[in-house]
Amino acid sequence: MLNSKIPAGQLDLKWTDYKGHCKLVNPANKRKLEVIIVGTGLAGASAAASLGELGYKVKAFCFQDSPRRAHSIAAQGGINAAKNYQNDGDSVFRLFYDTIKGGDYRAREANVHRLAEVSANIIDQCVAQGVPLAREYGGLLSNRSFGGTQVQRTFYAAGQTGQQLLIGAYQALERQVALGNVTMYTRHEMLDIVMVKDEKSGQDKCRGIVVRNLITGELERHFGHAVLLCSGGYGNVFYLSTNAMGSNVTAAWKAHRKGAYFGNPCYTQIHPTCIPVSGDHQSKLTLMSESLRNDGRIWVPKKQGDNRKPGDIPEEERDYYLERRYPAFGNLVPRDVASRAAKERCDAGYGVGSSKQAVYLDYANAIERYGKIECGKLGITNPSKEVIRKHGLDVVKEKYGNLFDMYEKITGENPYEVPMRIYPAVHYTMGGLWVDYELMTSIPGLYALGEANFSDHGANRLGASALMQGLADGYFVIPYTIGNYLADEISTKAISLDHPAFVETEKAVRDRIEKLMSIKGSQSVESFHKRLGKIMWDKCGMARNAQGLQEAIIEIQQLKKEFWSDVRIPGGINEMNPELDKANRVADFIELGELMCKDALNRNESCGGHFREESQTDEGEAKRDDSKFQYVSAWEFKGESDWQLHREELIFDVAKPTQRSYK
């Protein structure tokens, strides 16, 4: 039933072999083929630009006022590539292996190997576009290390790597707009896909979308021979996350309801280094780049409930718990491990700050270390503490200045003087629409790229791999794989927008909007979203158990009923109405939340970001159960609160599963 279409043959030759044999579309035919792209983050913008360059007629959609604002911009730390510029033993195989292992053996080998193969091309492409990645004095590109790896393969642009990579893709996209190959629709939100029966094959295929113009409220129909969903992840199901306020699951969820399987929905990544919650008013959480763990040391007091200021706690009374528990990787353990360790300390009563839900990330040591190195370089003998500190501060400022400034703006505390307080927060979702090797969902003609799909990160994503995957999918995978589908569509004429499928889909979308507006209840959309988030965080967050998940499912079903009978949406339909936009999204998040709990309940093992309390070692580490759960969960929507599970067995020919150890 589930055909992942992984090419036969040796792992490292599969992609080469695929490219050598996939079908091609000749340039004259490309002009006749229309492709719709939803979302303009790294995956969407790079796909739109690349397909436009190839000559396809592309329409790209984003809900923001400009494609440049997609949330890829917020990625701070960097992008991995197997360039081995540092001569430290990196290779395509190592990047592949680290990603599979980091993902806790829950990703497909073939996809991950392809990702590692094209990673080097991404850096070449971005530099050619003028992306100003950090450089050394000799003029060569600079690298740094990142959580979960022992080589330096991460390229970066200060703390703005996502921003710079997206501007590169955005500029390439705008160039195609200027050339007439891409038509850009900003402030447009996709509200459903359109399925049309293909006369030749008898299959239902995705042939377009219905979108809402967010300025006028008008619904529009758009035809495409293929549709690409590049709409990002669904971390906002937790209400508080590091996602942007507008990040949503709606595009993916509508596709899911129309037949696209949802893969591993319970795999969420809780990022260890975020600024802690300060109060009920909080609307979102802010991430502090993981690169801070390269030089910062994480600790809590050795004494429970220690209320002393961090500076008053002497060295011997501090517990550098990551270094203690994981001597081999120390502060650089993968994200899931670091997050759980922080939760463990706080739950045990060692947390710091007024909420006690935080740990320290301390730079005093790094400032001193860098200061001594600088003094050495400058030939300063016997430098005073002040001189060392001054030079150390300069280095730290150069490396992390914008992150430190960001922290100070939010908290009002100066992190050069006092250690930062951090706590884990929802950050990324490894789950997403199930796709095959060609990135096609279980609906013919519908693709999912970037964070919107489930494919490459297994149960946990390594740092600096999200940017890599988004751009790999958009620049280097979809341009090949889409041809393999569209080559058979060259005789398919553009379907009239008056086709019954378009008319009916638009009507269903309109009916739902009218229904939402007609409820006229008493509770705001935001209040429902907050309640959903709390259920998810408490019962489907960093640690999960069967009882909590069962409770959560019932609570969410009740919340859904309440939402559809008591939500209050002000304003009208035919105007700009951000509350209506939000209501559409929150309604979908509620349904997704239920599926996530269902998936988490089914997966009675701990793997990556998914920690089932029933499945842990004596030391409290996550325990995987390969004999029962070495598969991808692909859920098929059958009706309200009704799903069928399909399993895609994972086969490891090369990277043999072992229990992950970072000790």
Partner 1 sequence: MEHYTMNLTLKVWRQKNSQEQGRFETYQVSDISSEMSFLEMIDVLNERLIKEGKDPIAFDHDCREGICGACSMYINGRPNGPWHANTTCQLHMRAYKDGDTIVVEPWRANSFPVIKDLVVDRTSFDRIVQAGGYISVNTGNAVDANAMLIEKDKADAAFAAAACIGCGACVAACKNSSAMLFLSAKVSHLALLPQGEPERKSRVLNMVHQMDKEGFGSCTFTEACEAVCPKEISVTNISRLNKEYMIAGLTEEK
- Active-site residue numbers? 335
Stretch that binds partner 1, among 28-36, 171-179, 371-379, 445-453 (CB under 8 A): 171-179
Q: Check binding of 87 to partner 1 (CB under 8 A).
A: no
Q: Does 278 bind partner 1 (CB under 8 A)?
A: yes
Closer to partner 1 at the Cβ: 527 or 545?
527
CB–CB of 147/287 below 8 Å? no
Q: How far apart are CA 276 and CA 578, in angstroms?
A: 27
Report, in Å, the least distance between residue 85 CB and partner 1. Answer: 6
Among positions 11, 25, 43, 49, the unique one binding partner 1 when judged by CB under 8 A: 49
**Taking Cα atoms as reference points, which of 42, 75, 287, 271 lies closest to residue 161?**
75
Binding flag, residue 524, partner 1 (CB under 8 A)? yes
Site membership for partner 1, residue 283 (CB under 8 A): yes
Query: One symbol per residue from 136 to 155: x for binding partner 1 (CB under 8 A), - otherwise; what is it?
Result: xxxxxx--------------
For residue 287, count other CB atoms closer than 10 A to its CB: 23
Q: Strand 297-301 and strand 359-362: pairing?
A: antiparallel
The separation between the first and the last C-alpha atoms of the chain, rounded to the nearest angstrom, is 40
Q: Single out the residue of 34, 44, 50, 240 in contact with partner 1 (rule: CB under 8 A).
A: 50
Amino acid at 398: E
Q: Per rule CB under 8 A, is residue 67 in the interface with partner 1?
A: yes
Letter for the amino acid at 421? Answer: R
Q: Which is nearer to partner 1, 131 or 332 (CB)?
A: 131
Could you identify the residue written with the tokens 């090797």? 437
Backbone angles phi, psi at 489, to 5 degrees: -110, 5
> Would you put residue 130 in left (φ > 0), alpha (ψ -120 to 50) or beta?
left
Give the sheet arrangement for strand 446-448, strand by strand: 182-185, 57-61, 34-38, 226-229, 446-448
CB 250 to partner 1: min, Å: 15
Which of 27, 202, 279, 314 is in the footprint of partner 1 by CB under 8 A?
A: 279
Q: Give dist(CA 112, CA 98) in Å, integer.
A: 10
Sequence-ordered list of residues with C-beta below 8 angstroms from that of 99, at least 6 positions apart, any chain:
107, 112, 115, 116, 456, 457, 458, 462, 465
Q: Does 656 bind partner 1 (CB under 8 A)?
A: no
| Residue 31 binds partner 1 (CB under 8 A) | no
At residue 492, the 3 state secondary structure works out as: coil
Single-letter code of the amino acid located at 72: S
Positions 437 through 476 that interact with partner 1 (CB under 8 A): 475-476
> How near is the Cβ of 41 to partner 1 at its closest, in Å?
11
185 by DSSP, 3-state: which? strand
189 near 212, Cβ under 8 Å?
Answer: yes
CB of 555 to partner 1, least distance (A): 22
- Interaction between residue 290 and partner 1 (CB under 8 A): no
Within residues 236-275, the interface with partner 1 by CB under 8 A covers 242, 244-246
The single residue among 10, 26, 66, 641 that binds partner 1, judged by CB under 8 A, is: 66
CA torsion angle for 97, 99, 100, 106 (degrees, to 10)? Answer: 180
Longest dimension (CA), the chain: 83
Which among 1-9, 123-131, 366-374, 596-604 is the span making contact with partner 1, rule CB under 8 A?
Answer: 123-131
Taking the C-alpha atoms of residue 585 and residue 190, their distance in angstroms, rounded to an integer, is: 11
Q: What is the DSSP letter of 244?
A: -
Candidate residues 24, 348, 410, 645; the one interacting with partner 1 per rule CB under 8 A? 410
The verdict on 27 binding partner 1 (CB under 8 A) reads no
Region of 59-67, 330-338, 507-515, 584-592 interacting with partner 1 (CB under 8 A) = 59-67
Minimum CB distance to partner 1 smaller for 578 or for 620 = 578
400 near partner 1, judged by CB under 8 A: no
Binding string, 180-219, against partner 1, x = CB under 8 A?
----x-x----------------------------x----
CB of 623 to partner 1, least distance (A): 36
- Separation CA 396–CA 374 (nearest Å): 11
Q: Tell me the closest approach of the beta carbon of residue 70 to partner 1, in angstroms.
A: 8
Q: Which of 6, 12, 53, 97 binds partner 1 (CB under 8 A)?
A: 53
Q: Out of 373, 387, 501, 576, name the contact with partner 1 by CB under 8 A.
A: 576
**Residues 164, 264, 294, 630: which binds partner 1 (CB under 8 A)?**
164
